Amino acid sequence: MLTRIAGGRVIDPANGVNDVIRDLYVRDGVIVDAPRDGERIDRTIDAAGMIVMAGAIDLHTHIGGGKVNIARALLPEFDRLDPMPAHGVCEPCTGGAAPSTLATGYRYAAMGYTACFEPAMLPVNARQAHMEMGDTPIVDKGAYALLGNDDFFLQLLASGAEQREIDDYVAWTLHATQAAGIKVVNAGGISAFKFNARSLDVDGEHPHYRVTPRQVLGALTRAIDGLGVPHPLHVHGSNLGVPGNADSTLATIDAAEGRRIHLTHLQFHSYGTEGDRKFSSAAQRIAEKVNASPNVSVDVGQILFGQTVTCSGDSMMQHRNARHARPAKWVVMDIECDAGCGVVPFRYRDRDFVNALQWAIGLELFLLVRDPWRVFLTTDHPNGGPFWSYPHLIKLLMDRSFRNEVLSRLHPEAATSSTLASLEREYSLYEIAIMTRAAPARILGLADRGHLGPGAAADIVVYEPHSDPEVQFTAPRYVFKDGTVVAERGEIKAVTAGSIHVVKPEFDRGIERKLDDWFRRHHTQSLASFKISDEEVCVCGRAPKLVTHACTHRG
Amino acid sequence: MSGLRLSLRARPPARVDGSALLPEKLQGQTLDAIRRIALPGWNEFHEVGELFEVSGEATDRLQIDQLDGSFDRLGALATAGTLVLRGQAGDLVGEGLRGASIEIEGAAGDYLGCGMRRGRIEVRGNAGHFAGSGRAGELQGMSGGTLLVRGDVGDRAADRMRRGLLLVEGDAGDYLASRMLAGTVVLLGRAAGNAGYLMRRGTVVLDQRPAQMLPTFNANGRQDLLAIQLLLRSLGGEGPRFSRLAARAGGFERWLGDLAASGQGELLVSF
Ligand SMILES: [Zn+2]
């Protein structure tokens, strides 16, 4: 069947197309060239006057794995406040601070998002994470496996293993857990917490292994580059949320020594210690460094006001944050010695100085990092706020007067302690399309997503233009997923199943001999059952397709 | 009898959320408009007119007859008016109540009056488990108002109760007033095991010796407390059994606990 999306204003930065009126053609779920004369067009969708973009991609959103499920179990009271009764093709489910898998899929798709990446998949939890992602309808999924706090890796590093062996272990982990990338959370710090350390800066020594976070970052960025994995090492830095942590963040960038590195939820890592309250914005310093370092990409982790729940592998920092839990209940736990897990519910308040300044710092970063190909739109869902507040966030970026009007209602010192009020930049639609489509596809190595050229998956969003970007981005006129209309005007029309995205770099399988022995001595399961096969991940992950992306990135 | 009257025609195919049936919301609406209100069921909606015979006039008084236990959350979050429920009233009746009066001429299911803040609920028959408690995830149970059960209550009544008054004429199941934070419970019947388990503060008056006294409660001797005399006297209007208790109470054996929590609660046992 051939579908024509006719006459829309196409914005497709990956192909350098900015607001050009043209037709798009879709056949069998894929965007194709214009047909030759006389070929039958089965269906025409009139997009005249409307804006056409590729489906949006969220490269950092916590949608599966142990910690999200713990958050769901911890906070049923917020589910009850946000019921989603059965409606049309949708099954009944609940949203809330930690939304159900169904609500996650429905709300992302209704908003024009067609792919979501779970950034913190604990290898030992990978099976659970894939099943939860499989339960999340419509959108494509992928996940980053966590390394850098696991004992096998830290022992390799401490014993002076060759980089080649570390590369093999990283590659083996990507295969075994069916991951799309590697993330490190508080490098070495989560493990150090288990040895009673309460903080670990970039050059601090792990109390047991005697290695530093700088060494962990060095080894892992080298491995990612050496293996040609498209997504840079995804880094949740040291000292999350601690005033003055900007120094740690700058040191983290230096630790990459020019190799590719992605700093996630940078807002939580851009704090200074100036002022009476010893808490200030370091967004300017951080943004300057990012602008000057082409090997660095970032996502912001914007906070938005209201109730949410913070879910992190960083048990060291979540233990520190637990005293701020609202409601006053929290979970910090170890998961099979593989890393950690901390779930702390939180309410960001606009009249609170710290929260208001966090809000301003996030927006400063968005506006001060100049290259939209290297800064991504996230709230670190649900940590900074729910993903369904993205349209509001886009409005804050596109509309300076709205931004300043919101700023004027916050704790007054947020404005005086940051440069936000003076920043004039307003994002264009083209830049929004870069940061939410083209750039995430590029940085994840997704050759067939995030653009509208022939051969791309027909993940397409058609927006009715509106003077208020929040309205425009909340409920697009049409959302196509692999060529199927899955949503219209915010309402789900078809519930499809998304693909799973993975990478499988080549490596020397000899590493399995060492790992097999390790599993026999220390694990609760055998190496053979730890590994997830292609067939299993598709069956349990309910994925019609496993999409393996090439590991050809060099340098 | 004045007010609006709904009479259940037949058992609905699945459980139905009846929280939209509040006197304050229906007041002033026409019967036809009320018949068209859709109540969420498990996978579908049911119109009031399909489920109930609708009659009378929508005032601040609503009576629902022939209830069979399939309607949950009746009277939830109500702030004003009177709701009369006849038959088996389902779970979560009066959840988070904020001021109305609910009379149940029959029995109630689990979580009766859970999280209620103000107002009054009176049940002629028995109530299920977790009466006057909080729902899963909530840090507090009922935090105000009066919850009166003429029959028995199940397990975990007044769990995490924060404030207010729970009065029970019949017996209580296990774990009465478990994890209680504050507030007052008066039980005329007998409490089963583990009464006061992990209670931090609050007062539980027991007209009969409980089946078991937790080892983490300390005997504080026989006491004749003026405050309790005044409390019991104030309950005279709640029926003859309460006025009899007030008249004959000479004093109480006072037990302090639960020492496994902060231990500032008290169980007062009649003798
Ligand atoms: Zn995150």
| Same-domain pairing of B168 and B200 | yes
* Nearest-CA distance B134 → chain A (Å): 10
Asked whether residue B126 is assigned to any structural domain, the reply reads yes
Are B42 and A329 within 8 A, CB to CB? no
Instruction: Compute the distance between CA of residue A402 and CA of residue A177 in angstroms, rounded to an integer.
Output: 44
For residue B67, being part of any structural domain is answered with no
Structure tokens at B226: 């003026």
Residues B141 and B114 reside in one and the same domain: yes
Average pLDDT of chain A is 96
Q: Does A510 contact chain B (CB < 8 Å)?
A: no
A416 C-beta neighbours (distance < 10 Å), count:
10
Give the mean model confidence (pLDDT) for residues A246-260.
97
**B28 and B85 part of one domain:** no
ipTM, 2 dp: 0.84
B221 to chain A, closest Cα gap in Å? 36
Distance in Å, alpha carbon of B116 to nearest chain A alpha carbon: 15
Instruction: List, for residues A499-513, the tens digit of each pLDDT value.
Output: 999 999 999 999 999
Q: Is the pLDDT of residue A555 over 60?
A: no
User: Which one is the CATH code of A2-54+449-492: 3.90.1330.10, 2.30.40.10, 3.30.70.20, 2.60.40.10?
Assistant: 2.30.40.10
What digits encode the pLDDT tens for the residues B171-193? 999 999 999 999 999 999 999 99
Does B168 reside within a domain?
yes
Q: How confident is the model at residue A85 (pLDDT cuts 50, 70, 90)?
A: confident
- Which pLDDT band holds residue A136 (cuts at 50, 70, 90)? very high
Question: What pTM, to 2 d.p., does this model score?
Answer: 0.93
Which residues neighbour A15 within 8 Å (Cβ) at sequence distance 6 or greater? A451, A452, A453
- Identify which of A77, A86, A92 has the shortest CB distance to residue B135: A77
Task: Kindly state whether residue B191 falls inside one of the protein's structural domains.
Answer: yes
DSSP state string for A208-232: TT---HHHHHHHHHHHHHHHT-SSP
CB contacts of B136 in chain A (<8 Å) are: 76-77
B3 & B89 share domain: no
Q: Does B42 touch chain A (CB under 8 A)?
A: yes
Q: How far is CA A398 from CA A112, A164, A357, A430, B108, in A?
A: 18, 46, 20, 11, 54
Residues B45 and B155 in one domain: no
Give the pLDDT mean for A111-135. Answer: 96
Give how far A81 is from chain B: nearest CA, Å: 12
Among residues B59, B82, B108, the one where a domain terminates is B59
Query: Higher pLDDT residue, B167 or B228?
Result: B167
* B160 neighbourhood in chain A, CB within 8 Å: none
In a domain, B38, yes or no: yes
Residues of B in contact with A82 (CB under 8 A): none
Per the structure, the count of domains in chain B is: 2
> Given this chain, do its domains A2-54+449-492 and A63-444 carry the same CATH topology?
no
Query: Both B77 and B49 in a single domain?
Result: no
On whether any CB of chain A is under 8 Å from the CB of B44, the answer is: yes
- The CATH-assigned architecture of domain A63-444 is Alpha-Beta Barrel (3.20)
Residue B34 belongs to some domain of the structure: yes
One domain, residues B111 and B215: yes
The whole-number pLDDT of residue B245 equals 87
The CATH number of whichever domain residue B81 belongs to comes to 2.160.20.60
CB contacts, 8 Å: A85 with chain B: 40, 45
Based on the fold, state whether residues B197 and B259 are members of the same structural domain.
yes
Residue B37 has pLDDT above 80, yes or no: yes
Q: Specify the pLDDT at position B223.
A: 87
Residue of B nearest to A77 (CA): B137
Residue A102 structure tokens: 């169904």
pLDDT in tens, A161-217: 999 999 999 999 999 999 999 999 999 999 999 999 999 999 999 999 999 999 999
- pLDDT band at A66, cuts 50/70/90? confident
Strand partners, A32: A25
A371 has a pLDDT exceeding 70: yes
Chosen domain end from B59, B86, B105: B59
Asked whether residue B53 is domain-assigned, the answer is yes
Do B44 and A327 lie within an 8 Å CB cutoff?
no
Q: What is the DSSP string of A313-368?
A: S-HHHHHHHGGG-SSS--EEEEETTTEEEEEEEEEE-TTSHHHHHHHHHHHHHHHH
Contact B139/A at CB under 8 A:
yes
Task: Tell me, yes or no, whether B152 and B19 share the same domain.
Answer: no
- Considering only CB atoms, B40 lies closest to which of A80, A85, A328, namely A85
pLDDT of residue A75: 96
- Which among B135, B137, B139 is the nearest to A328, CB-wise? B139
Report chain B residues whose CB lies below 8 A from the CB of A94.
none
Q: Do B42 and B77 sit in the same domain of this protein?
A: no
pLDDT over 70 percentage in chain B:
99
Whether residue B169 sits in one domain with residue B264: yes
Q: Which amino acid is at A206?
A: H
Quick one: pLDDT at residue B249? 62
B52-91, pLDDT tens digit by residue? Answer: 999 999 999 999 999 999 999 999 999 999 999 999 999 9
**Per the structure block, which two tokens stand in for A126?**
């990978």
pLDDT confidence tier of residue A335, bands split at 50, 70 and 90 = confident
- Is residue B188 domain-shared with residue B89, that is, in the same domain? yes
pLDDT band at A394 (very low <50, low <70, confident <90, very high): very high
pLDDT computed for residue B263 by the predictor: 92
List the domain boundaries for chain A. 2-54+449-492, 63-444
B64 belongs to a structural domain: no
Q: What is the pLDDT of residues A519-536, one digit of tens each?
A: 999 999 999 999 999 999
Residue A353 has a pLDDT of 97
Residues that place a CB less than 5 A from ion ligand 1: A 380
Asked whether the predicted pLDDT for residue B1 surpasses 60, the reply is no
Does the beta-carbon distance from A77 to B138 stay under 8 Å? yes
- Chain A residues touching residue B138 (CB < 8 angstroms): 77
The boundaries of the domain holding residue B216 are 73-270
